[in-house]
């Protein structure tokens, strides 16, 4: 198969939600009544193009000529020798804007344009989704506003400047923990009063139906490409696939075409932060079912149901919830979930940089770090695919401050 010539059209998944957007008991729509008509219309609009060749051909044009798809599958020879395994990296970091986020931004912007919307809003944590949203807004001549927690604005100042340079208005959200959760709260409130002319471009597989399904569908191009590329390189499927998880879009993107392959273990990595007994972002490992941002899923919450503050060195994983399909896959035992701490992620950030000359995003560093966390007998001789969901340009200032003593002359 020639991926450069093929147009990718998502197919129905055996893990699709029901007509009300539920993955088992998870998902659904828990939103103000004023938003229900907009969500129902979006569901109808998306289902009309979900398997439409003309729609995906238009998306594909921008993927190939603007984003740079298909993204490369790279054999990490030095890591492979060190670990006595075959390590492949799916290079989403090479996409235009530096992460997988541009995939769902392009497709949703094409949809918004078809629907006649004039404005796009988005929430962002690490800023990669915000940059990608601002990018497609500039491309398609749409007004753009991005909501970002004030804490994330401070630690991702380069991405904030990029968004402004692209013409977006950035709102620094001062409420709550001043991170992604609060940015999403403000974005939803804004949408409630502006749904008529505004498209809310959600940046992950979370939120009310149809967003979790829609973003999963769009990002599934990662897994489709990787499967074909690995078959060409090795003639077989990988033994394990590893991806970091905040809301969960890059993970579901690469897992999607392998979930029915029993020989493949899909492994999602949450933010272990300072440790599971301290501050972290492990909603699957330490959370319980609850409602946040229009969905029922696993949340970090106290006994009274109050959402607790998440923590991660990576702004993109600093979220107290998880996409509902991940919650479903966890409960069904279809995907394995684990965690990596801030310290382990930093170590992997340096490790990949100095082993392969590839500087990963701090989010992706969590997935890379898990290669070291596995026991030697788990990894020896295995073919392992890691989704390198973003590059580390955005994290340079933050990491420089943390590691300045390590790299002093």
What sign does the dihedral 177-182-183-184 (CA atoms) show?
Answer: positive
Which member of 220, 363, 389, 394 is catalytic? 389
Active site residue 81: no
Which member of 92, 123, 225, 363 is catalytic? 123
The owner of tokens 């006595």 is: 84
Which member of 101, 178, 240, 394 is catalytic? 101
d(CA 319, CA 205): 13
d(CA 402, CA 398): 7
Active site residue 389: yes
The owner of tokens 């893990």 is: 15
Active site residue 262: no
What sign does the dihedral 266-250-156-71 (CA atoms) show?
Answer: positive
64-68: long-range contacts, CB 8 A cutoff, minimum separation 24: 64/4, 66/96, 66/106, 66/139, 67/95, 67/96, 67/102, 67/103, 67/106, 68/94, 68/95, 68/96
Q: Are 314 and 366 in contact (CB under 8 A)?
A: yes
Residues classed as catalytic: 101, 123, 389
């Amino acid at each position: 198969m020639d991926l450069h010539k093929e147009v990718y059209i998502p197919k129905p998944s055996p893990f699709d939600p029901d007509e009300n957007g539920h993955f088992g008991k998870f998902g659904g729509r828990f939103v103000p009544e004023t938003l229900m008509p907009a969500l129902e219309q979006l569901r109808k609009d998306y289902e009309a193009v979900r398997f439409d060749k003309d729609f995906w051909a238009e998306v594909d044009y921008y993927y190939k000529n603007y984003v740079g798809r298909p993204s490369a599958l790279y054999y990490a020879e030095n890591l492979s020798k060190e670990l006595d395994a075959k390590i492949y990296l799916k290079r989403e970091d090479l996409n235009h804007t530096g992460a997988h986020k541009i995939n769902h931004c392009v497709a949703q912007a094409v949809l918004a344009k078809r629907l006649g919307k004039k404005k796009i809003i988005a929430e962002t944590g690490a800023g990669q989704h915000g940059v990608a949203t601002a990018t497609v807004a500039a491309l398609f001549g749409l007004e753009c506003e991005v909501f970002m927690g004030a804490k994330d604005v401070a630690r991702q100042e380069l991405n904030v400047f990029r968004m402004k340079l692209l013409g977006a208005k950035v709102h620094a959200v001062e409420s709550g923990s001043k991170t992604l959760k609060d940015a999403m709260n403000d974005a939803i409130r804004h949408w409630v009063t502006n749904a008529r002319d505004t498209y809310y471009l959600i940046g992950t597989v979370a939120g009310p139906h149809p967003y979790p399904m829609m973003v999963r569908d769009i990002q599934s191009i990662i897994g489709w490409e990787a499967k074909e590329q690995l078959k060409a390189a090795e003639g077989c499927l990988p033994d394990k696939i590893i991806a970091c998880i905040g809301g969960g879009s890059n993970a579901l993107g690469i897992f999607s075409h392998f979930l029915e392959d029993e020989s493949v273990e899909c492994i999602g990595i949450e933010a272990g932060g300072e440790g599971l007994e301290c501050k972290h972002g492990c909603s699957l490992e330490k959370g319980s079912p609850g409602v946040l941002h229009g969905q029922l899923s696993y949340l970090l919450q106290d006994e009274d149901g109050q959402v607790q503050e998440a923590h991660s060195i990576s702004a993109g994983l600093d979220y107290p919830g998880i996409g509902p399909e991940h919650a479903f896959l966890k409960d069904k035992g279809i995907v394995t979930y684990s965690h990596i701490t801030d310290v382990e992620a930093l170590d992997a950030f340096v490790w990949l940089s100095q082993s392969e000359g590839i500087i990963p995003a701090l989010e992706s560093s969590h997935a890379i770090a898990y290669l070291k966390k596995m026991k030697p007998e788990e990894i020896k001789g295995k073919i392992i695919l890691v989704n390198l969901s973003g590059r580390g340009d955005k994290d340079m200032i933050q990491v420089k401050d943390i590691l300045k003593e390590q790299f002093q002359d």
